[in-house]
């Protein structure tokens, strides 16, 4: 037991050490870049003001000191942006939702969409989808909302007891409002690059929920389709002679 605890402690210590070394190395790189850029800026100022030697050196020194902090901030932001992973949700094609900030300016197209749209009986669920659409309006999210609303309505009125359908309806009712609310709270405190990544993750999650709802709708439709096919078959057998009489000759 002691050996296991010691091994775990050493492993945690090793991970922390590697993390600290990586952070220290990154800090050194940023510091070197900062000094280099600030020195180049100061050198340019010194040369520009080199009509008098003392004045040029003095202005260059002042420019070097003043440029250190903003240069370090700029380089840190640039390094952080370069190291951030590209926004993409695995397993979901978000090609039509990439520029959701630009799409948000044209969200009136969704409001004027032709045809009736399914609605939610659950007020919290309806508000969650509305908030998600305001945060990132796009065609895929709109389709996911429609599928989810259709499924929730169909599951509530289903005559056949299906445990899987009930479980998925409970999952949507519990998880969708929470993930939307927590994403909005997170976005409020993030920088722009991280904010877009969080919104894209929300889009991927809700698109996946919509795909699941569509699968459940197909599951609900199967017994109804079979029932209708059986009824039409019985009607065909009963009305066969009548159809033969009404069928035009030749």
What is the SS3 string spanning 5-68? HHHHHHHHHHHHHHHHHHHHHHHHHHHHHHHHHHHHHHHHHHHHCCCCHHHHHHHHHHHHHHHH
Mean pLDDT, range 176-180, rounded to an integer: 93
For residues 65 and 224, the model is more confident at 224
Mean pLDDT, range 161-171, rounded to an integer: 87
Does residue 227 have a pLDDT over 70? Answer: yes
Distance, in Å, from the CA atom of 129 to the CA atom of 146, rounded to the nearest integer, reads: 10
For residues 182 and 105, the model is more confident at 182
CB of 150 closer than 8 Å to CB of 119: no
Q: What is the pLDDT of residue 61?
A: 72
pLDDT digits (tens, 9 = 90+) for 93-139: 444 455 544 444 444 444 444 445 666 777 888 899 999 999 988 89
pTM of the model: 0.50
Q: What is the pLDDT of residue 25?
A: 77
CB of 98 closer than 8 Å to CB of 61: no
CB of 59 closer than 8 Å to CB of 67: no
Domain ranges of the chain: 2-83, 97-238
For residues 183 and 106, the model is more confident at 183
Q: What is the pLDDT of residue 113?
A: 47
């Amino acid at each position: 037991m002691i050996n296991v605890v010691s091994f775990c402690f050493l492993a945690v210590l090793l991970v922390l050490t590697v993390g600290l070394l990586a952070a220290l190395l990154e800090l050194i790189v940023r510091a070197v870049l900062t000094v280099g850029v600030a020195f180049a800026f100061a050198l340019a100022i010194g040369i520009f003001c080199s009509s008098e030697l003392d004045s040029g050196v003095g202005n260059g020194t002042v420019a070097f000191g003043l440029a250190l902090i903003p240069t370090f901030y700029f380089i840190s932001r640039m390094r952080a942006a370069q190291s951030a992973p590209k926004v993409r949700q695995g397993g979901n094609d978000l090609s039509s939702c990439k520029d959701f900030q630009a799409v948000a300016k044209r969200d009136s197209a969704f409001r004027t969409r032709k045809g009736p749209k399914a609605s939610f009986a659950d007020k919290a669920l309806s508000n969650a989808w509305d908030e998600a659409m305001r945060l990132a309006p796009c065609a895929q999210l709109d389709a996911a909302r429609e599928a989810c609303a259709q499924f929730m309505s169909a599951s509530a009125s289903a005559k056949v007891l299906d445990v899987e359908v009930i479980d998925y309806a409970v999952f949507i009712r519990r998880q969708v409002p929470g993930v939307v609310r927590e994403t909005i709270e997170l976005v409020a405190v993030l920088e722009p690059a991280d904010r877009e990544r969080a919104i894209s993750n929300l889009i991927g999650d809700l698109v996946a929920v919509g795909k699941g709802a569509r699968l459940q709708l197909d599951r609900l439709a199967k017994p109804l389709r079979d029932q209708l096919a059986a009824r039409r078959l019985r009607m065909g057998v009963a009305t066969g002679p009548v159809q033969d009489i009404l069928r035009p000759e030749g």
